[in-house]
Amino acid sequence: MSLSHLYRDGEGQGLMDDEDERENFEITDWDLQNEFNPNRQRHWQTKEEATYGVWAERDSDEERPSFGGKRARDYSAPVNFISAGLKKGAAEEPELEGSDDEEKPVKQDEFPKDFGPKKLKTGGNFKPSQKGFAGGTKSFMDFGSWERHTKGIGQKLLQKMGYVPGRGLGKNAQGIINPIEAKQRKGKGAVGAYGSERTTQPLQDFPMADSEEEAEEEFQKELSQWRKDPSGSKKKPRYSYKTVEELKAKGRISKKLAAPQKELSQVKVIDMTGREQKVYYSYSQISHKHSVPDDGLPLQSQQPPQPGKEAKAPGFALPELEHNLQLLIDLTEQEIIQNDRQLQYERDMVVNLSHELEKVSEVLEHEERAISNLSKVLGLVEECERRLQPGCGDPLTLDECARIFETLQDKYYEEYRMSDRVDLAVAIVYPLMKDYFKEWDPLKDCTYGTEIISKWKSLLENDQLLSHGGQDLSADAFHRLIWEVWMPFVRNIVTHWQPRNCDPMVDFLDSWVHIIPVWILDSILDQLVFPKLQKEVENWNPLTDTVPIHSWVHPWLPLMRARLEPLYSPIRSKLASALQKWHPSDSSAKLILQPWKDVFTPGSWEAFMVKNIVPKLGMCLGELVINPHQQHMDAFYWVIDWEGMISVSSLVGLLEKHFFPKWLQVLCSWLSNSPNYEEITKWYLGWKSMFSDQVLAHPSVKDKFNEALDIMNRAVSSNVGAYMQPGARENIAYLTHTERRKDFQYEAMQERREAENMAQRGIGVAASSVPMNFKDLIETKAEEHNIVFMPVIGKRHEGKQLYTFGRIVIYIDRGVVFVQGEKTWVPTSLQSLIDMAK
């Protein structure tokens, strides 16, 4: 146990306890000396300290005490005395206390400006009040010396952050490069008593904002204010003046003398800034209170009172007068500002009124011009009315009236468009127009009045009505003119018109179709012409009338078009009744029906042919007798003449039913009686030439003729008969090959033509997929009919690639398709190939 308490008094014991229990945080000399010392002794945490923390035992002699808990003590160490210093005497302590009282802080305002720090011109955000290093000049001189013992990591880090060696620190390199230099003062005077103490380096880095002469002059000027004038004369007071321009530039009233807002006027304000407590009932009263001088220093003196002397009372103090004068000044300033604002307002009002005056003058000028134009228009209208009077010596004509309206439209367009043209035209133009068409006969002179009506159309027709396409007689003068003046003449003519004499009426309407309105033309066709045609069709008899019905109905097709469809059904009914006893030998039926083929719809025409014509042709073809030695062709010609009238399928059906069975039967019987094959060949080619290419291209007809060739080939190939004509077999084989070759070429040409037409019209296949050769065409057809078309790998015939088209094997040679038969390859058409594949 330590005996240190035996050698210390109570004060020393308290000091020791304070040192053990309290940690001092002030900066010591050890901190300053070891701040930039890289070789200073560092504290490394031991395993015991990591385990026990602040309760771990430490050696206090080797390191600086930490900020932890109580310092560990070694009680086995010898006694250690601590010097407490010299105790001060009782006389020195009051001295120190008195000196502390005397050293009162002096306000900065009591010194001249020269005693304060001067402004420096710095390069960036550098402030003159920045502090230097706490270590002093010596520590700064050794700054960076520890870099000699390292690899220069500090210098590298500074260079990475933009530091340039030899230049100052900071964003703008405004930091000093060299340490602070000291300059010895000449005497023992205060700072600045011997002039500037700045060295060369700070003058270069931070030049002075003001020169020394200006600073000295300003110092002398301020110093003279503290001295009393030796002459004893009073200084003249200096007054500050405000000009009117300054008040105008200020643009606002310094003190609001107007009535405050309602909510602010009801606020109770207690003023305790003076000697007495005052109560105000609005914020405006605070601004109106006058300032009373304090009881302290007089207004005339700025020097502090001398000790031991009484302060002099102010010689002149009238706060009420000062307040009144200030109030008058404020009122005057407010009046000046208000007058300026009123003047500016009046000037703006003058500018606004000048613009309004210009606009009104423009409107007035426009109105005067409109009045003048209306007056002239009214004069022209009154002149027309005067000349329309019955007893006028210079009556108005329709051409003159048109010229007057053209003048109104050209020179007074706005007034003409805005006026009521309907009433004006009714009053002036209609009487003249009735006189103009009074003796007009449309069927004799269909172009009479077209020019004058076209001119009036441009003058009277309403463009807005045209854009909507409606009819409004009250809004369009031209439509009303045509309906009330021109239309009665047309009605009168149509009532006496005979429908079978259609040419004059058709010519008349063709001449007027581009002049009269559309709705009026529709009214003529629907209400006047069509009933007459319908009645005439009901009275028509195809057996007795010598004039064909198409001669007086078809001329109406360009004008009426679909309006004539109700007439087609009775016409077909009458024609069907007339064909009940008709025979194909009578060609007049074809002359009557042929003009109606393109008029009737395809469905109705085909139904009419199948019902009324095809049975008659089948009966006629059934009566045909086929005799190779004496052939009568009249019945066959009667049937073939209807090829363009009836469809190909209907004609082929007639041939299959009534012609080819008898024809093949005659061929077989002829071949069985030792015939002359040259005559048979001519007979075959002769019958085939009787049919058109369109009929021959039909698969059924083609099959029948191919069947005839097969019969002939079988006949020449068999051993029937003892005698065989020389060369018959070769002739028949050549005929077969030639005919099939022609059929195939014709079909291929037709298919190519169809493909070209489809490519040109853009129908079906796109332009990029148009077949470029015959193989592409076959491939396209296979895709359309969902047939597999692909080459056979490793199979060729005469060097040509073999293909499978469905279940058929083919090859292509110079645009011809050959199909594998029983013994040889047979050329075939594309359509036949598709039929065989299906």
Please state, in angstroms and rounded to a whole number, the distance separating the CA atoms of residues 728 and 748: 30
pLDDT in the model for residue 614: 92
Of 35-44, 460-469, 532-541, 546-555, least confident by mean pLDDT is: 460-469
CB 513 within 8 A of CB 524: no
Q: Is a pLDDT exceeding 50 seen at residue 587?
A: yes
CB 677 within 8 A of CB 728: yes
DSSP state of 486: I
In a domain, 663, yes or no: no
DSSP state of 564: G
Q: What is 419-476 written as a DSSP string?
A: S-HHHHHHHHHHHHHHHHTTT--TTT-TTTTHHHHHHHHHHH--HHHHHHT---TTT-
pLDDT in the model for residue 208: 60
Cβ contacts of 715 within 8 Å, gap of 6 or more: 671, 672, 732
Cβ neighbours, 10 Å, residue 164: 10
Judged by DSSP in three states, 805 sits in strand
Q: What is 733-754 written as a DSSP string?
A: HHHHHHHHHHHHHHHHHHHHHH
pLDDT in the model for residue 421: 63
pLDDT in the model for residue 86: 47
Highest mean pLDDT among 84-88, 449-453, 508-512, 719-723: 508-512
Give the pLDDT mean for 19-38: 67
Q: 192 or 185: which carries more pLDDT confidence? A: 185
The two tokens of residue 755 are 């493909």
Question: Which residue in the block uniquely carries the two structure tokens 């074809």?
Answer: 590
The two tokens of residue 684 are 């075959």
The two tokens of residue 108 are 């900065």
In a domain, 813, yes or no: yes
The band of 143, judged by pLDDT with boundaries at 50, 70 and 90, is: low
Please state, in angstroms and rounded to a whole number, the distance separating the CA atoms of residues 480 and 516: 11
Q: Is a pLDDT exceeding 50 seen at residue 802?
A: yes
Of 53-57, 161-165, 209-213, 526-530, least confident by mean pLDDT is: 209-213
Cα four-point dihedral sign 759, 761, 767, 769: negative
pLDDT in the model for residue 360: 95
Please state, in angstroms and rounded to a whole number, the distance separating the CA atoms of residues 682 and 837: 34
Per-residue CA distances from 743 to 553, 684, 693, 698, 816 (Å)? 44, 15, 10, 10, 12
The band of 34, judged by pLDDT with boundaries at 50, 70 and 90, is: confident
pLDDT in the model for residue 264: 53
Please state, in angstroms and rounded to a whole number, the distance separating the CA atoms of residues 805 and 797: 16
CB 837 within 8 A of CB 787: yes
Per-residue CA distances from 121 to 113, 174, 204, 205, 806 (Å)? 18, 10, 10, 9, 103
Q: Characterize the bridge pairing of strands 825-828 and 269-271.
A: unpaired
Q: Which domain holds residue 791?
A: 774-837
pLDDT in the model for residue 92: 46
In a domain, 672, yes or no: no
The total of structural domains in the chain comes to 1
Helix (H) or strand (E) holding 522: helix 518-524
Helix (H) or strand (E) holding 8: none
Q: Is a pLDDT exceeding 70 seen at residue 305?
A: no
Cβ contacts of 663 within 8 Å, gap of 6 or more: 626, 687, 704, 708
Judged by DSSP in three states, 619 sits in helix
Give me the count of residues in the chain.
838
pTM of the entire predicted model:
0.48
The band of 420, judged by pLDDT with boundaries at 50, 70 and 90, is: low
In a domain, 239, yes or no: no
Please state, in angstroms and rounded to a whole number, the distance separating the CA atoms of residues 823 and 813: 18
Q: 2 or 806: which carries more pLDDT confidence? A: 806
Of 7-11, 280-284, 724-728, least confident by mean pLDDT is: 7-11
> Which class for 834: exposed (0-12), middle (13-18), buried (19 or more C-beta within 10 A)?
middle
Highest mean pLDDT among 197-201, 425-429, 507-511, 699-703: 507-511
pLDDT in the model for residue 79: 59
Q: Is a pLDDT exceeding 50 seen at residue 643?
A: yes
The pair phi, psi for residue 27, each rounded to 5°, is -80, 125
pLDDT digits 0-9 by tens, 625-641: 888 888 888 899 999 99
The band of 287, judged by pLDDT with boundaries at 50, 70 and 90, is: low
Cβ contacts of 263 within 8 Å, gap of 6 or more: none
pLDDT digits 0-9 by tens, 81-99: 554 444 444 444 444 444 4
Of 193-202, 282-291, 370-379, 613-622, least confident by mean pLDDT is: 282-291
In a domain, 812, yes or no: yes
pLDDT in the model for residue 46: 80
Q: 733 or 368: which carries more pLDDT confidence? A: 368
Q: 754 or 42: which carries more pLDDT confidence? A: 754
pLDDT digits 0-9 by tens, 247-283: 778 765 444 444 445 555 567 888 888 888 888 877 7
Of 144-158, 184-198, 369-383, 574-588, least confident by mean pLDDT is: 144-158
pLDDT in the model for residue 465: 45
Q: Is a pLDDT exceeding 80 seen at residue 354?
A: yes
pLDDT in the model for residue 109: 42
Cβ neighbours, 10 Å, residue 747: 19
Comparing CA positions, the residue from 2, 12, 22, 28 lying closest to residue 83 is 12
Of 33-37, 398-402, 440-444, 532-536, least confident by mean pLDDT is: 33-37
pLDDT in the model for residue 74: 58
Q: What is the CA radius of gyration of the chain?
A: 66
Comparing CA positions, the residue from 470, 378, 453, 464 lying closest to residue 416 is 378
Give the pLDDT mean for 316-327: 85
In a domain, 447, yes or no: no
Q: What is the mean pLDDT of the chain?
A: 75
> Which class for 549: exposed (0-12), middle (13-18), buried (19 or more C-beta within 10 A)?
buried
Find the helix packing angle between 648-658 and 602-612, rounded to 10°: 20
The band of 293, judged by pLDDT with boundaries at 50, 70 and 90, is: very low
pLDDT in the model for residue 40: 67
Of 228-232, 510-514, 666-670, 815-819, least confident by mean pLDDT is: 228-232
Q: Is a pLDDT exceeding 50 seen at residue 101?
A: no
The two tokens of residue 176 are 């000093």
Helix (H) or strand (E) holding 490: helix 487-495
Highest mean pLDDT among 69-83, 111-125, 245-259, 363-377: 363-377
In a domain, 805, yes or no: yes
Question: Which residue in the block uniquely carries the two structure tokens 């310094």?
Answer: 254
pLDDT in the model for residue 41: 65
Judged by DSSP in three states, 288 sits in helix
The two tokens of residue 399 are 């051409």
Q: Is a pLDDT exceeding 80 seen at residue 779?
A: yes
In a domain, 824, yes or no: yes
